[in-house]
Amino acid sequence: MTNFSISERLNVISPKIKEFLLKEIYPLEKSLLSQPFKEVAKLLDSKREIVKKMGWWAPQMPVELGGQGFSLVELAHLSEILGASPLGHYAFNCQAPDSGNMELLLAHASSLQKEKFLNPLVKGDSRSCFSMTEPQFAGSDPTQMATTAVLDNDHYVINGHKWFTSSADGADFAVVMAITDAQNSNPYQRASLFIVPTDTEGFELVRNISVMGEKGDDYISHAEIRYNNCRIPVEYLIGREGSGFTLAQERLGPGRIHHCMRWIGICERAFDLMCKRAASRYVKGNTLLGNMQSVQNWIAECRVEINASRLLVLDTAHKMDRLGAKAAREEISAIKFYVAGVLQKVLDRAIQTHGALGVTDDIILSFWYRHERGARIYDGPDEVHKSVLAKGILKKYLSV
């Protein structure tokens, strides 16, 4: 039987981290709901220093780089704790897309790239973004893109149009996917990954796309980018030419574990708020909200669905730790669409339980409802992941 128990070291620090979030991070959420993130980030600087001093910094990175060297299962448990606040992961320097870029560069960057880009990222001295999706093509099929990188002596020249380059506002560099061999008969070997500093001539941040009525800024934003004859040294190619698709998929595997456990953290916080509301709000004179059968049904269903989600994700993380992301491809697809769906249901029920208060910015639920509807779309829409899982299951029957 798979052991999902929390490791000894995480068991020791988890209560301290929860207390830190409650006392130091949760109070800053009000600022997040009323101010640009750039202003909130200033308030978070001192909190991030506390995290460093406590030895909690960059838990996904090796100890020799200044991280904590957590396993994927440990990261999953921690991600749930941090996910209870939209500021949690940023405070610990394990937020997307930086975390995924750190993992990518750790595994595949050259010594020069690690020194110039990875080390400052791990230290928290810089920020990054991941630039793959294009407005002309469906983001669910990254083999289809028009952005190109053409070799010109000792430089690559990049031209293209990207959007939903999350966190590009304020980032120091972008990891960009671009076509280097358009004629390759294998569509999975046409693209490559590059590091493009955002101060490169020709890098144009067109706008922060307004999402659910919010343009966002800095870390919480989704940018449209144009690459206009961006010249970068050949040394900024990550890995080898033609490996872009493979590296991007490798990057996304652990990222989906992080996302799913972060969503479970959101679910637990929303569930707690819902239960507190149900146990304290009276309707129709003297009827406690929690005594109404429909509310009781929501509470029961949320509890079971959250628990099921956690077990699914931890099982997937355990398999990836042992066998790698490729072996857990079907499990990754399963948790991606299932947990995203549970997240939507839990948030919706929590808001409904709060009534009009639930849709205001007086509490955190409306923020999550706006920002997490995209969970069923980014990193692969539900429909794609369901298809991957179904095909994998049917393949076993067709081979009999």
pLDDT in tens, 147-184: 999 999 999 999 999 999 999 999 999 999 999 999 99
Residue 148, pLDDT score? 98
Q: Lowest-pLDDT range, 40-44, 92-96, 283-287?
A: 283-287
Q: 2 in a domain, yes or no?
A: no
- Quick one: 163 and 23 in the same domain? no
Contact between 210 and 164 under an 8 Å Cβ cutoff? The reply is: no
Q: Percent of the chain scored above 70 by pLDDT?
A: 99
Dist. CA 139–CA 130, nearest whole Å:
13
- The verdict on 200 and 310 lying in the same domain is no
Split into its structural domains, the chain has a count of 3
* Structural domain includes residue 112: yes
Asked if 192 contacts 149 with a C-beta cutoff of 8 angstroms, the reply is: yes
Model pLDDT for residues 214-223, shown as the tens digit of each residue: 888 888 899 9
Query: For residue 1, what pLDDT is reported?
Result: 47
Q: Is-contact 97 128, C-beta < 8 A?
A: yes
Are 51 and 171 contained in the same domain?
Answer: no
Asked whether residue 52 carries a pLDDT value surpassing 80, the answer given is: yes
For residues 99-110, average pLDDT:
96
Label residue 267 by pLDDT band (50, 70, 90): very high
Based on the domain organization, do 296 and 367 belong to the same domain? yes
- Average pLDDT taken over every residue of the chain: 94
Looking at residue 123, its pLDDT comes to 97
* pLDDT higher than threshold 80 for residue 400: no
Same domain, yes or no: 250 and 388: yes
Question: What is the rounded CA–CA span in Å between residue 397 and residue 385?
Answer: 19
Indicate if 114 and 30 belong to the same structural domain: yes
Q: Domain of residue 208: give its range.
A: 128-238
CA distance 129 to 127: 7
Among 222, 238, 254, which residue terminates a domain? 238
Tokens of 204: 């144009």
Q: What is the structure's pLDDT at 254?
A: 80
Instruction: Give a yes or no: residue 276 inside a domain.
Output: yes
Tokens (6 digits) for 37: 């993130």
b/e sequence 344-362, b meaning 16+ C-beta within 10 Å = bebbebbbebbeeebeeee
Residue 87 within a domain: yes
Rounded mean pLDDT of 109-136?
97
